[in-house]
């Protein structure tokens, strides 16, 4: 059969159509695959952003024991083992599994009631890395480090952790020790700028210096060889460059090590950076066993709602419960200063906020009540597994928080009665200062007031901020009572009772054992207290005047960042105000208990629901539209709404 002849133009057209169709077929087949691949790529990227590898090392808020509240910088090996033994026997089955040795385990001759910064004897290896003091940790002899102790803790089915200060030891710089695996030495990577103000063991490591990252790498290689599972890195908050170096060092050490940073200083606007670099970050300065600080936690933690997640947690600090202060950095040996109601408040708030829980008391000393606080399965389940925790309301210091049970859809409800006898009614003061700040030039005022006829004297310090990032170190310098027989130093009298924001007031020294310093001048005589503080005295007969210099202690520099770039230092601001009373400064006492009510619609429920008290285990019955309970003053309740 003959075909019609094709002209050149017709042939070209047919070829064009033939190959165009093939190209279109390729596009139609491959585009969905490309699109699917792109979607999967985006999904993977999102997953990585929401769940970094190190987040998996702490999938639920860590539960553990830390030696700080009871032993300060003086804990020894037998005490660590005793607490590990107790945890393994009594707490492990409830999820408690970290044993952490806190600050200055490398100093042979440290002390309680402050730090020995006069003549410390350090234990350090040839590469400028601190090692455990053998007189305190005998198993560390012969270069063993913490490995034998970590092995002991691991044999109990627990995890082992240590505290460290950021930076490189001053003694390593003085000796110019080599950095492991390099030709670089300690003096090549340090700067004295930004040195920690309250403990001067370390210098800042300059991230841009060659050998800086290698030094941190060598540290965590050492800790990994010891079997360390957890590090609490101090003086690290808001120090971006060193946080990044430590993150890299952990990721390359070959061992999963959970990282907690302290003290307070980070702010909610930094949450994304913190999430991408650490597992836990402190939300406040050191938290001790007094109601003022506990009540302040409501305002602090409310600011961090929704900013934690699986593997990364805002940390309300340790639980100062049980027997504390045995040889602490501050405070005398004591049972927790919290009342039982206040202890329920602390555990309830930290549970529904999902803060990590690090017990501070000496575990073997626990009484039955303390043990019951930390072994309630229902309460711990709220801490470990609830979601969407938030504050529902705060009205006249009656507070409600809620959260969800992700498995059942049930609601958790926490009720708090934080109402107070107002501790300080300023209108009752016979003298008061303005709020002082160390950003101002003059940080003191001379006081000379008439107290004729008074039987009592109350020295009070207070402050206005509540966010938890400021220091409030206040000094009463050379306080004198003037009477018919001349002057009497107030420090020669015993106070009737005293309280302070952190620890107790101190005579003739700061709470950390330092010299009293106001406006750059050192004083030998005076009273130092961290606000809010109230000190009560009975006055001798015939006293007519009270004289004192009231001022901020210079142990804390002005707040904010000091310096620029990688060597900048975040310094806590110091502020406070001073008041003098000759009558009890407190206001009227509120009722012992108050009804706290929540409408179900406030947390997304309607109709009738059954309620269980998680602290007592009691089923309270069915409630329609609203739930009310009588809550003791300073107390709390925690409930499951089904």
Report H helices in 339-483: 340-353, 368-373, 377-385
Answer yes or no: do 187 and 272 share one domain. Answer: yes
Residue 11 lies in a domain: no
Domain termination site, one of 581, 615, 634:
581
β-strand 98-101 against 159-165: which pairing, if any?
parallel
Instruction: Answer yes or no: is 40 within a domain.
Output: no
Q: Which of 253, 193, 196, 191 is nearest to 225 (CA)?
A: 253
User: Do residues 301 and 446 both lie within one domain?
Assistant: no
Q: Verify that 332 and 240 share a domain, yes or no.
A: yes
Residue 310 lies in a domain: yes
In this model, does residue 562 exceed pLDDT 50?
no
**Do both 388 and 439 map to the same domain?**
no
Does any domain span residue 214? yes
**Rounded Cα gap, residues 632 and 221, in angstroms:** 51
Q: Are 238 and 311 contained in the same domain? A: yes
Q: What is the pLDDT of residues 345-360, one digit of tens each?
A: 999 999 999 999 999 9
Q: Judge if 371 and 461 occupy the same domain.
A: no
Pairing of strands 506-507, 526-530: antiparallel
User: pLDDT of 23-74, one tens digit each?
Assistant: 333 333 333 333 333 323 223 222 334 579 999 999 999 999 999 999 999 9
Residue 221 belongs to domain with CATH number: 3.20.20.70
- The enclosing H or E element of 297 equals helix 291-302
Average pLDDT on 493-515 reads 91
- Which pLDDT score, from 0 to 100, does residue 289 have? 95
266 or 243, higher pLDDT: 243
Coil/strand/helix, residue 213: helix
Are 477 and 548 found together in one domain? yes
Give me the mean pLDDT over the 95-107 stretch.
98
**Is 592 a domain residue?**
no
Q: Would you state the pLDDT for residue 513?
A: 86
Task: Kindly tell me if the per-residue pLDDT of 16 is higher than 50.
Answer: no
Average pLDDT, the chain: 89
Q: Classify 634 in phi/psi space as left (phi over 0), alpha (psi -120 to 50) or beta.
A: left
What's the pLDDT score for residue 15? 38
Q: What is the pLDDT of residue 17?
A: 40
Same domain, 530 and 388: no
Rounded Cα gap, residues 428 and 234, in angstroms: 41
Whether residues 556 and 515 share a domain: the answer is: yes
> Looking at 205-209, 237-241, 378-382, 389-393, which range is the least confident one?
237-241
Beta pairing partners, 260: 232, 280
Q: What angle do CA 583, 588, 594 make, to 5 degrees?
A: 155
440 and 543 inside one domain: yes
Residue 359 lies in a domain: yes
pLDDT digits (tens, 9 = 90+) for 172-211: 999 999 999 999 999 999 999 999 999 999 999 999 999 9
Contacts of 34 (CB under 8 A, 6+ apart): none
pLDDT band at 560 (very low <50, low <70, confident <90, very high): very low
Q: Confirm whether 9 is domain-assigned.
A: no
229 is in which domain, residue-wise?
A: 63-404
Going by C-alpha positions, the residue among 559, 570, 624, 571 that lies closest to residue 598 is: 624
Are 547 and 526 contacting, i.e. CB atoms less than 8 angstroms apart?
no
Instruction: Give strand pairing partners of 190.
Output: 205
20/25 Cα distance (integer angstroms) = 9
Query: 375 with 474, same domain?
Result: no
Q: Give the pLDDT of residue 417.
A: 98
Pick the last residue of a domain from 531, 562, 581: 581
Same domain, 398 and 451: no
Q: pLDDT tier at 554 (50, 70, 90 boundaries)?
A: confident
pLDDT at residue 243 above 70?
yes
Rounded Cα–Cα distance for residues 370 and 142 (Å): 39
Confidence band, pLDDT 50/70/90 cuts, at residue 469: low
- The count of structural domains within the chain is 2
252: Cβ contacts below 8 Å, ≥ 6 apart: 217, 220
Q: Which helix (H) or strand (E) covers residue 34, if one does?
A: helix 8-50
Last residue of a domain, one of 532, 553, 581: 581
Please state which of the ranges 101-115, 243-257, 374-388, 453-467 shows the lowest mean pLDDT.
453-467
Does 608 fall in a domain?
no
């Amino acid at each position: 059969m003959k075909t019609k002849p094709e002209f050149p133009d017709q042939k070209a057209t047919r070829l064009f159509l033939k190959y165009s169709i093939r190209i279109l077929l390729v596009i139609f087949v491959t585009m969905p695959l490309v699109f699917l691949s792109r979607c999967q790529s985006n999904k993977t990227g999102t997953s990585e952003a929401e769940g970094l590898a190190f987040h998996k090392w702490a999938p639920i808020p860590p539960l553990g024991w830390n030696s700080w509240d009871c032993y300060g910088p003086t804990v020894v090996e037998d005490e660590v083992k005793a607490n590990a033994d107790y945890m393994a026997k009594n707490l492990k089955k409830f999820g408690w599994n970290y044993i952490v040795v806190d600050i200055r385990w490398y100093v042979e001759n440290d002390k309680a009631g402050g730090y020995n910064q006069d003549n410390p004897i350090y234990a350090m290896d040839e590469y400028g890395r601190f090692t455990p003091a053998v007189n305190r940790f005998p198993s560390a002899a012969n270069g063993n480090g913490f490995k034998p102790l970590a092995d002991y803790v691991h044999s109990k089915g627990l995890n082992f952790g240590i505290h460290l200060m950021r930076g490189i030891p001053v003694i390593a710089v003085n000796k110019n020790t080599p950095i492991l695996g390099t030709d670089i030495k300690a003096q090549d990577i340090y700067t004295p700028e930004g040195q920690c103000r309250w403990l001067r063991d370390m210098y800042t490591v300059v991230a841009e210096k060659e050998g800086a990252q290698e030094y941190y790498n060598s540290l965590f290689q050492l800790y990994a060889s010891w079997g360390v599972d957890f590090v609490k890195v101090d003086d690290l908050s808001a120090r971006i460059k060193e946080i990044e170096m430590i993150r890299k060092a952990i990721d390359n050490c070959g061992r999963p090590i959970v990282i907690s940073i302290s003290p307070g200083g980070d702010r909610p606007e930094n949450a994304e950076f913190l999430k991408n670099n650490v597992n836990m970050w402190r939300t406040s300065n050191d938290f001790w066993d007094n109601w003022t600080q506990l009540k302040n936690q409501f305002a602090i933690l409310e600011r961090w709602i929704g900013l934690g997640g699986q593997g990364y947690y805002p940390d309300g600090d340790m639980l100062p419960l049980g027997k504390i202060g045995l040889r602490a950095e501050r405070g005398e040996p004591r049972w927790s200063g919290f009342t039982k109601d206040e202890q329920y408040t602390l555990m309830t708030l930290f549970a529904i906020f999902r803060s990590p829980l690090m017990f501070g008391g000496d575990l073997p000393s626990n009484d039955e009540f303390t043990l019951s606080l930390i072994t309630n399965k229902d309460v711990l389940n709220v801490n470990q597994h609830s979601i969407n925790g938030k504050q529902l309301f705060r009205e006249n210091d009656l507070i409600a928080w809620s959260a969800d049970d992700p498995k059942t859809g049930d609601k958790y409800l926490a009720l708090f009665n934080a109402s107070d006898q107002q501790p300080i009614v300023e209108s009752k003061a016979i003298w008061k200062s303005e709020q002082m700040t160390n950003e101002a030039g003059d940080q003191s005022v001379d006081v000379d007031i008439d107290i004729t006829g008074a039987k009592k004297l109350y020295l009070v310090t207070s402050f206005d901020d509540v966010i938890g990032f400021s220091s409030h170190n206040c000094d009463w310098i050379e306080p004198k009572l003037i009477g018919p027989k001349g002057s009497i130093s107030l420090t020669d009298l015993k106070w009737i009772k005293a309280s302070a924001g952190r620890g107790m007031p101190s005579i003739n020294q700061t709470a950390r054992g330092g010299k009293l310093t106001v406006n750059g001048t050192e004083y030998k005589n005076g009273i130092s207290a961290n606000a809010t503080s109230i000190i009560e005295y009975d006055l001798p007969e015939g006293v007519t005047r009270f004289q004192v210099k009231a001022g901020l202690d210079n142990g804390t520099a002005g707040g904010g960042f000091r310096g620029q770039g990688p060597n900048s230092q975040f310094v806590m601001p110091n502020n406070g105000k001073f008041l003098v009373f000759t009558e009890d400064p407190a206001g009227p006492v509120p009722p012992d208990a108050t009804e706290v009510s929540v409408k179900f619609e406030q947390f997304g429920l309607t109709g009738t629901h059954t309620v269980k008290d998680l602290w007592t285990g009691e089923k309270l019955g069915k409630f329609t539209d609203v739930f009310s309970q009588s809550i003791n003053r300073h107390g709390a309740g925690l409930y499951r709404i089904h």
